[in-house]
Every structure is written in structure tokens, then in C-alpha cells.
Amino acid sequence: MPRDFLQGARDYYDVAVIGSGLAGLTAANVLARQGRSVLLLEQHYKLGGMATWFKRPGGHIFDISLHGFPYGMVKSCRRYWSREIADSIVQLDGVRFDNPMFSLWTSFTRDDFTKQLVEKFKVDPATVDAFFDKARGMNFYDDQQTTTRELFDEFFPGREDVIRLLMEPITYANGSTLEDPAISYGIVFSNFMSKGVFTFQGGTDKLVKQMEDELKKSGVDIRIRCDVEKINVGRDGVESIEVNGRTIRCGAVVSNANLRQTVFKLIGEEKFDRGFIDDARAVRLNNSSTQVYMGLKEDDRLDVSELGDLLFSSTAPTFETEALLSRDITSRTYSFYYPKTRPEGRPRCLVVSSTNARYEDWAGLPEDEYQASKQDLCETTLEALDKYVPNIRERVVHVEASTPRTFQHYTAHLAGASFGTKFEGLAVSRALPEQISGLYHAGSVGIIMSGWLGAMNYGVIVANEVDNLLMSRGSRSTSGFEESVAGEKS
Ligand SMILES: Cc1cc2nc3c(=O)[nH]c(=O)nc-3n(C[C@H](O)[C@H](O)[C@H](O)COP(=O)(O)OP(=O)(O)OC[C@H]3O[C@@H](n4cnc5c(N)ncnc54)[C@H](O)[C@@H]3O)c2cc1C
């Protein structure tokens, strides 16, 4: 008999949350704390979605998406999770850039960027200030037509080096490009610039375990290996979900699955207005990633004062979105992990190299070519890393790669999208409950709501809307609340 992962689950819950990414986990926790009965369903055998890790022999634990997030995570974790979780958030010691245009170290704060822009890049201080003020003043309700390229051209015309400094890390952080709306850049950039780049001490495994404990305390019914196949909709809105052969009724659904999957697979286009479906069809997925995970010998130590925590490296002469996505890799972001990452664990040094990538470049490869391409990715990455970690090839005891196919496999994200959808996805995600009462989506979407902080905050926004609906069928407005969370810059 196959194991019943829904054993003991009830026939009705106030809310079913589909997916345990950071948005799904946070929405579930907030709703349960508000007194709602919540069923959290995850298709994988682990919670966390993209916020995940894996272990390899020799004591190596590799984090997938723990590279850096803004300080705002401290406030969000304290408010919506626990003080204990918030207290493990620490600042990175050093961020570096190395490319043919410049090499520098930075604390990745407004003060330090201002200093570098004025002293190293010789930009007029008043212009730098005006740029920072403009970026910081941006919010979701602003003009959405101006592109990031136009924003840069207004302040730094012809300064491709300055644009590279300002843009390259954000492209890496959320997949946005110069052609995306400037607000998607300004909001995320200002979030980082408020205090620098932060990480979770103890690793993703510790964070997700602590979150799971909190969810249990809040009373969430957590179920792994539960792949939701359908959300059933009746005349009055959401009625139930179909999962592992069972139909479970619910008052509302929060889908943390990819937005397009939610609309086209879990619901079906016949349930929506035509105009909505046209908009949903036009939503572009964000790009995916490749990563190479390298574990050093047990007693081999890297030096944080030499390498920093995060290194944006590139051999491309200029910054171009196309080059960042190309299969012919010129840009790699290295995360260096030291024993300080997991002070309670076995002391190990690791390097994870990440690169933005296109699903299409990997999707159609026959198995032998796919394996050969992964091998080539490992080899070329070791070659490139040797510049910063001499003799890396002799020093590593474990090397493996992941591709857009890997991300798709583990998270069910279409095309392995690392950061959900492009900007237009946000409006479609927000419009779901207007189409079908009780149907919500929370998860990486629209660039702004992606990344650890964006996804978590989106989970909070949506949880409050669901709670309002359940309480009064939508009579209490949450727009003020929504604005305050979305615009949080500290
Ligand atoms: C390589 C990489 C590096 C990154 N680096 C950073 C970084 O340094 N900093 C940062 O802030 N962000 C980073 N991110 C992005 C960040 O990890 C994500 O934006 C965030 O974790 C997404 O959370 P989410 O809530 O949208 O859900 P996701 O993580 O996308 O999870 C969705 C969940 O839903 C589940 N699911 C899907 N369909 C179903 C179904 N039908 N039934 C049940 N379950 C289902 C999936 O299995 C998954 O667990 C990175 C991402 C990648 C891929």
C-alpha cells in the first residue's frame, strides 16, 4: 500500500495553501495565527521551495538561494515568524565586483556606494544623491512606463561603468533587466541600499526547520508529497481542491505555485473572463539559473578577508542582459561559505557559482548531451574560479551542477523560473480574487515580489486579504496595509 500523506487530514479547512515557498509558508503562518484552520500542501518531500539546501557526503551542506537579501527580512521575520529567526540574520562581511571595467569591495550601502561613485567613478555628488533619492522615493503606484535604462540615462548618461555597478547585482538578485520598469529596479535596489546585504546564520536548513516548528505551534496542518492537481470552482467561488486522490473543501485557496500554472493548470482558462486570460497569457516568465556547487577538503580554509562573501565577476567588456543569460557564460556570481555560515555545524568551506540562464538552452538536450553540458559547466566554472581561489581543482572534493531543468524538477516552476514572472505578472496575480472569489496567489511575481523578502511580504499581504474575505467577504480594505508592506524599505 502506498503511504497516505493525507492520513488524518480533515474534509474542510478555512484555507488551503498550495506550495511551501517562503510566500506559502508565511501566508500559512499568518492565517493560522489569525485563528484560521490552514492546510499547507507541498508536492516535494521538503518545505521551502527555492529556499532550499542539499547535503553531500563529507559534511557539505549546499544552500541554493541563500546568497543575500535586504535588511527588511529582520523586521518581516520578527513580525510574522519569531524573534529567534530574526536574530539569526547577520550582515555579509564583504561584497566584491571584478570585471573589465572596475574591481572594488563594498558594504553595498548607500553611504559606501556614494563614496565609490564620487571618488572612484568621479560622479558629481549632487547627481548621486539625486539618483538615490529618486530610487528610494519609488513605489508601486508610480509611473510604470519609465524603464530602468531611461532612469540611468537621466542621471548617468553614457556611463556604462556606473550602470554596471548599479544594475549587475540587481539583475542577479531578481532577474530584472534594463528594459524592465524602473520601479522594479528602484524598490529592490533601495531595499538593499538601506543597510547592506544580509544572510541567515545557520543556513537554509535551520531556517526552514524553525519555520516548520512555528507553523506547528500556530496549528497549521503541514503535508508534504501532496501534489495538488485541481482547484474546484463553483458559482460562488473556490470550493475545494483535488490532491492525492482526495477532494478537500476549503473557504479559500492561496496558491504559491507558479502564477501561470495556477491559472491554466490548477483552475483552467474556461473559469476566467476572456480579457483576464489574454493578460495571463501575456505574462512572461522570469529567467532561470545554473549553479555549480563546490565543496573543499575538510581542513581547507578560505579567507573571508581575501574573498568576501559575494563576488560579482564578469569577463564581458560591458554589461548586457544578453551576455548575462548566454550559454557562453561570462558572468558568474560566487557565494563563499565559511564555517561562520553554520557555526553549529561541521566546519566546511564551500563555493556556489550562480549564473542567470535560459530554460530553452537546456530543455531539449538529449540525456547524454545534457550530462556533458553539466560537466562542461563544472569544468569551465572551476577554470574561472581559479583566478580567485588558486588551485581550486585540487582543493575541491565535491563538484556538481544544477540547471533550469533541476529547478523545474524540484519546484514545478514552469521553465525553472528562478524569480517567478516579469512585471506584468503582478497585476494578474492581484486580479485573481476579482475573477474567482476565494482564489489568491502569493509567490515570486512581478520582480518586486520575488526574492526572499519580496515573496515573504507578498505572503503577508495575501494572508491579510484572505482573512478579510473570510471575516466579512471583502468588506474591510487592506490597501493601506498592502502599501506599507510592499513599500517597506528598512
Ligand atoms: C539559484 C537561485 C538563487 C537565488 N538567490 C536568491 C538570493 O540570494 N536572495 C533572494 O532573496 N532570493 C534569491 N532567489 C529567489 C528566491 O529563492 C525566490 O524568489 C523565493 O524563494 C521564492 O519563494 P516563493 O514563495 O515564490 O515560492 P517557491 O520557492 O517558488 O516555491 C513554490 C513551492 O510550491 C510548490 N508547488 C508548486 N506546485 C505545487 C502543487 N501543484 N502542489 C503542491 N505544491 C506545489 C513547489 O514545490 C515549491 O515548494 C534565488 C533563486 C534561485 C533559483
pLDDT digits (tens, 9 = 90+) for 371-420: 999 999 999 999 999 999 999 999 999 999 999 999 999 999 999 999 99
pLDDT at 253 over 60: yes
Burial class (CB in 10 A: 0-12, 13-18, 19+), 90: middle
**Cβ–Cβ < 8 Å for 105, 95:** yes
* 85-110 mean pLDDT: 96
pLDDT digits (tens, 9 = 90+) for 18-55: 999 999 999 999 999 999 999 999 999 999 999 999 99
Q: Give yes or no for residue 156 CB within 6 A of ligand 1.
A: no
- pLDDT cut 90: percent of the chain above it: 88
Instruction: Kindly give the distance from the C-alpha atom of residue 411 to the centroid of ligand 1, in angstroms, as a whole number.
Output: 7
Domain 53-91+287-411 fold is Polyamine Oxidase; Chain A, domain 2 (3.90.660)
DSSP per-residue codes, 330-396: -EEEEEEE-GGGSTTS----EEEEEEEE-THHHHT--HHHHHHHHHHHHHHHHHHHTTTSTTHHHHE
Residue tagged 497516505 (cell numbers) = 4
* Sequence spans of domains, the chain: 12-45+224-283+419-486, 53-91+287-411, 129-193
Specify the residue with its C-alpha closest to ligand 1, atom 46. Answer: 411
Specify the residue with its C-alpha closest to ligand 1, atom 45. Answer: 19
C-alpha 112/C-alpha 216 separation (Å) is 42
Q: How far is CA 465 from the centre of its chain?
A: 22
Task: Identify the CA nearest to 92 among candidates 340, 317, 324.
Answer: 340
* 349-361 mean pLDDT: 96
Which residue type is seen at 233?
Answer: V
Helices 451-472 & 72-80 angle (0-180, nearest 10): 40
Task: Identify the CA nearest to 291 among candidates 368, 353, 370, 383.
Answer: 353
Q: Give yes or no for residue 333 CB within 6 A of ligand 1.
A: no
CATH no., domain 12-45+224-283+419-486: 3.50.50.60
pLDDT digits (tens, 9 = 90+) for 445-468: 988 888 999 999 999 999 999 999
- Give the helix/strand (H/E) hosting 274: helix 274-281
pLDDT for the residue 28: 98
pLDDT at 421 over 50: yes
C-alpha 28/C-alpha 39 separation (Å) is 8
For 218-222, 299-303, 322-326, which range has the lowest pLDDT when averaged over its residues? Answer: 322-326
pLDDT for the residue 476: 41
Q: Give yes or no for residue 262 CB within 6 A of ligand 1.
A: no
* 259-265 mean pLDDT: 97
Give the β-pairing of 439-441 and 246-255: parallel
Instruction: Kindly give the distance from the C-alpha atom of residue 262 to the centroid of ligand 1, in angstroms, as a whole number.
Output: 15
pLDDT for the residue 490: 36
